[in-house]
Amino acid sequence: MEVLGEKSFRSKQVYEWLWKKNAASFEEMTNLGKELRAKLEEHYFIDHIKLDDQQISSDKTIKCAFSVEENKVVEGVLIPTSSRTTACISSQVGCSLACTFCATGRLKLMRNLTAGEIVDQVVYLKDQAENRYKTPLTNIVYMGMGEPLLNYKNVLRSIEMITSEDGLGMSPKRITVSTAGIAKMIRKLGDDEVKFNLALSLHAANDKKRSHIMEINDSNNLAELADALRYFHQKTDSRVTFEYIIFKDFNDKIEDAQELAEFAKCVPCKINIIEYNPIDDSEFQQADRANVDSFAAYLESKNLVVNVRRSRGKDIDAACGQLANKNKAILKEERVLKAK
C-alpha cells in the first residue's frame, strides 16, 4: 500500500478481504475507494482457483474439480454425514509417490499448490455445506491429491490461515493431515509442535507387504516411522490415527491384524479401517465384509480404538483412493474438443 502511495492501514483491509472474506476480485472490496480499487486492478491480480466441474453423489457427497494455472486440475470433496461435514482437500497437482492402489498415484507430480489454492478449496466446500446442505463445515482432512508433507511450507501456511482469527477461525483439532509416511517430516511436525491431527496411511504393518503397495516404505520403513511417531507424540502429546485400507486376500487376515496391533503399540492411536474402492485395472479387490468385521473385532480385543469407514461418493469416483480416476479422461476429452 505504501508503494502505491496509500496509507498502511489499507493493507489490513485487503488482507481481510482475501483471507477472511475470500474476495475473488478487487471490485468486491467495497471499503476501498474506487480509485484505489482501479489502481490495484491495474497492478495486481488475485490468483483464485476456479470450479471446472462438479458432481453430486446419491449419498450427497460432492466432488469438485478445480482448475489452477495452465489448465491443471485438482479435486476436493465435501462429505456430509449425520454427525459431521468434512472437506477433503488436495495439496499437490498429481502425486510423486505412486502407491499402487491409488488413482492419483498414477498421475505424475506437476507442482505443489500454494497456500491460497489450498484455502480456496476449503472456502468453496464450506460454502457448499452452508448453502446447499444448511450445515457448517466441521472438519478438514488433507487426504486429497498429493502428499501434504512434501508441500510442507504451503500446507502449514494454509492451516495457519484456516485457523487464524484473521482467516476462517477453525479449531486446529478439527484438521487432520494425512501422510504416506515421511519420517523426517513427521519429526519436523513434532519440532514445530503443530496443533492439528496427524494420520499415517499405513495399510500394512509388515515391511514386505507395505513396500509392495507403497514405494515410500523402501526409504521410510516401519521401524523408522515408529521412531518418528514416538518423537511426534512426545513433542505434541497428540494421538495418531492409523489409516488401513483393507484388501481382499492381501492384508485382511487375523495375522495381519496381529501385526497391526503390535505396531500400534508405538504411540497412543486410533485405527480407521477403510473399505477399498476399486480403480481401473487394479490388482486389488474389496475385502469380504465378514473378514473386515473379524479384523476389527480382533483389534478391539486388544483394547484398540477402531472405526470401520464405509465409503461414500463411490458412484462419482469421490471415495478414498479414487480422486483423478474419472476426471482425467473427461478433461482429456474436453481439451481435445477445445483444440478442435
Supply 320's cell numbers: 478414498
Residue 97: φ, ψ to 5°: -90, -20
Q: At 277, which amino acid appears?
A: N
Q: Which of 162, 110, 160, 139 is nearest to 331 (CA)?
A: 110
Pairing of strands 72-80, 62-68: antiparallel
Report DSSP letters for 5-32, one per residue. T--TTHHHHHHHHHHTS--SSGGG-TTS
CB 72 within 8 A of CB 111: yes
Q: At 62, which amino acid appears?
A: I
CB 122 within 8 A of CB 155: no
Q: Which of 136, 116, 108, 124 is nearest to 75 (CA)?
A: 124
Rounded to a whole number, what is the largest CA-CA distance in the chain?
70
List of long-range contacts for 50-53, beta carbons under 8 Å, 24+ apart? 51/124, 52/331, 53/327, 53/330, 53/331
Residue with cell 466446500: 125
Query: CA-to-CA distance for 292 and 173, rounded, in angstroms?
Result: 29
Query: CA-to-CA distance for 52 and 57, rounded, in angstroms?
Result: 17
Query: CA-to-CA distance for 262 and 155, rounded, in angstroms?
Result: 31
Supply 198's cell numbers: 496427524
What value, to the nearest 5°, has the Cα angle with vertex 164 and ends 161 and 170? Answer: 95
Judged by DSSP in three states, 233 sits in helix
- Could you give the residue numbers annotated as active site? 75, 320
CA 125 to chain centre: 13
